[in-house]
Structure 1
């Protein structure tokens, strides 16, 4: 089973803006104080130990286009909302419907250009991340690296979750090879865990490419390598 890392597009020719990060900005003034408290509590005030939350509410995500931004099928936004890697449009939703995706939730979105709604074809994509219990720490390969020179990587033995959480080396602990254990559902076409980012199957990648979906790249050479044990 070949796994690809899904990364968000950053090129100005694709997303329009030169910030390399986001195309739209959340319009928080569209909500009253009670609504904002609920949204902030769920999406922003993160408790890292309690992140696999299921929403018991719905809302409309309002966002304005940044200057020169381009509407893509996968859209990036600001500020960061935990568990929400992007906005998606109906074309992407139809692809998701064809595949086996881990639990996810969609909130309708309205996109504005100044004060005018220019699209209601988008959704805020929320996907509670899979827990550490899918990771075989002992077989995975971890390292630290100062700067961009891969030759200066320092390798670390990490045998379990406790050692990973209590790592006290210099630099952030990163993963070069991520091994998933028997707790992982091998049938998933799209998944995201606490380590590594977002990953998709070859079938999902094929549908992205054949449908011409814009705003993301699916790469097999982008770290970490994922191995399903």
Structure 2
């Protein structure tokens, strides 16, 4: 049975500046303001939904530089602001070199430099990842975790994508529990994004990230005591 895990940035406040983002994309720091304008139009506006199928690593995006915020720690997964659509975080060159060994055909990478002041800088990549439809989930076997004032806390199941999305929308505090993927819809990707925005990695990639001791990442075998591991049902 193939296993998959959720990948998130670490929630430890010690990595961020005042408990928020670690880095900032600032128009004031761009030499060519048009590059900032094009970036925000492509990945930070409603125009994204019209051109998303065109976005790949050759798409004309020039992310000139990113500023590490005062008090923030440089990590291999870097949270930044403002948010860009389907760009979960910046990744270090070390992380990018690891991903190059795996199937990442659904990801576009855009080079940038993260500056710590005006002297020290490091090579990073903006990662844009195309989402898979949540129809890949085997709802007959999958469970979800919820905790809120209306329903208390517990485990919930759904019949289909629509029922799941409606409940997620109406109930803050709902999360993945034990998720199974449909065998006939399973991809060979080592990293992908579910419709909800959750980033998912294969067991092989999880092992490599762990072995390389990447900083600032959180690989989840559990959420609030509930397993967050994803399993490809029917696979040996």
Q: TM-score range by the shorter chain?
A: 0.7 to 0.9
Residue-by-residue CA offset, 1:45-64 (whole Å, 9 max, x unaligned):
25897795342323124211
Moved more, 192-201 or 161-170: 161-170
Q: Deviations over 1:41-82 (max 9, x none)?
A: 322225897795342323124211111112112211111111
**In the TM superposition, what is the alpha-carbon distance from 1:153 to its structure 2 partner?**
2.7
C-alpha displacement at 1:90, in angstroms? 1.4
Equivalent residue number for residue 73 of structure 1: 76
Q: Return 5+ residue gaps in structure 2 as ranges.
A: none
Alignment RMSD: 3.1
Q: What is the correspondence of 1:106-185 to structure 2 with a 5 Å cutoff?
A: 106-114=109-117, 116-142=118-144, 144-147=146-149, 152-153=152-153, 158-167=158-167, 170-172=170-172, 174-181=175-182, 182-185=184-187
Quick one: distance in 1 between partners of 2:50 and 2:92? Answer: 29
Give the match for residue 17 of structure 2: 17
User: 1:133, 1:47 → 2: CA distance?
Assistant: 25
Give TM-score scaled by structure 1 length.
0.80
Structure 1 Cα separation of the partners of residues 93 and 180 of structure 2: 33
What's 1:83 paired with? 86
Question: Per the alignment, in what secondary structure is the counterpart of residue 214 of structure 1?
Answer: coil
Give the distance between the partners of 1:9 and 1:138, measured in 2 at CA: 31
Whether the 8 Å CA contact 1:52–1:130 is kept in 2: the answer is: no
134-143 or 61-70, which deviates more: 134-143
Structure 1: 5+ residue stretches without partners: none
Structure 1 position 175, deviation (Å) = 3.5
Contact kept? 1:95, 1:207, Cα under 8 Å: yes
Q: Distance in 1 between matches of 2:165 and 2:171?
A: 14
1-structure distance, mates of 2:21, 2:211: 25
